[in-house]
């Protein structure tokens, strides 16, 4: 699957800081990767209309059993609300036992830096 393009539910005002969140998930098996992949569209729909969401992209390497997310939010609270509601919350709970490894990173960026670059996310997740 190719990388999903940057999707921005809202554009933050110029000159503001956004909360950036990146993740890397590796599943224990190819079956786990397929389950992750099949649940992606529902979560992606939630991302595309999430309150406080300033943009997101996803990179799926299904046959390597690895998935990467990169998103920007108006605040850490907006990210927390997204992760605990809608499709994301039950999906994350169901997929957690299928994960071999998960890494997370967060930092701030300027709204003018959107859309975000994968190179910086990959560097921070190493």
Of 113, 125, 126, residue with least CA distance to 19: 113
For 59, the domain range is 4-125
Write down the pLDDT at residue 2. 73
Q: How many domains does the chain have?
A: 1
Question: pLDDT tens across 10-55, in order?
Answer: 999 999 999 999 999 999 999 999 999 999 999 999 999 999 999 9
| Dist CA 105 CA 109 (whole Å) | 13
CATH number, position 102: 3.30.70.100
Rounded distance between C-alpha atoms, residue 10 and residue 13, angstroms: 9
How far is the CA of 78 from the CAs of 52, 65, 84, 122, in angstroms?
Answer: 5, 28, 10, 23
The 10s digit of each residue's pLDDT in 107-117 is 999 999 999 98
Q: In the chain, what are the helix, strand and coil shares in percent, each to the nearest 5?
A: 40, 35, 25
Rounded to two decimals, the pTM is 0.94
Mean pLDDT calculated for residue range 88-93: 96
């Amino acid at each position: 699957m190719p990388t999903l393009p940057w999707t921005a539910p809202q554009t933050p005002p110029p000159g503001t800081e956004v909360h950036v969140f990146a993740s890397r998930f590796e599943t224990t098996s190819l079956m786990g990767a397929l389950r992750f992949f099949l649940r992606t569209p529902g979560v992606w729909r939630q991302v595309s209309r999430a309150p406080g969401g300033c943009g997101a992209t996803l990179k799926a390497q299904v046959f390597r059993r690895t998935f990467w997310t990169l998103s920007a939010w108006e605040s850490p609270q907006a990210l927390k609300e997204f992760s605990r509601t809608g499709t994301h919350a039950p999906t994350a709970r169901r997929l957690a036992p299928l994960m071999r490894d998960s890494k997370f990173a967060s930092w701030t960026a300027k709204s003018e830096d959107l859309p975000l670059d994968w190179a910086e996310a990959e560097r921070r997740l190493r």
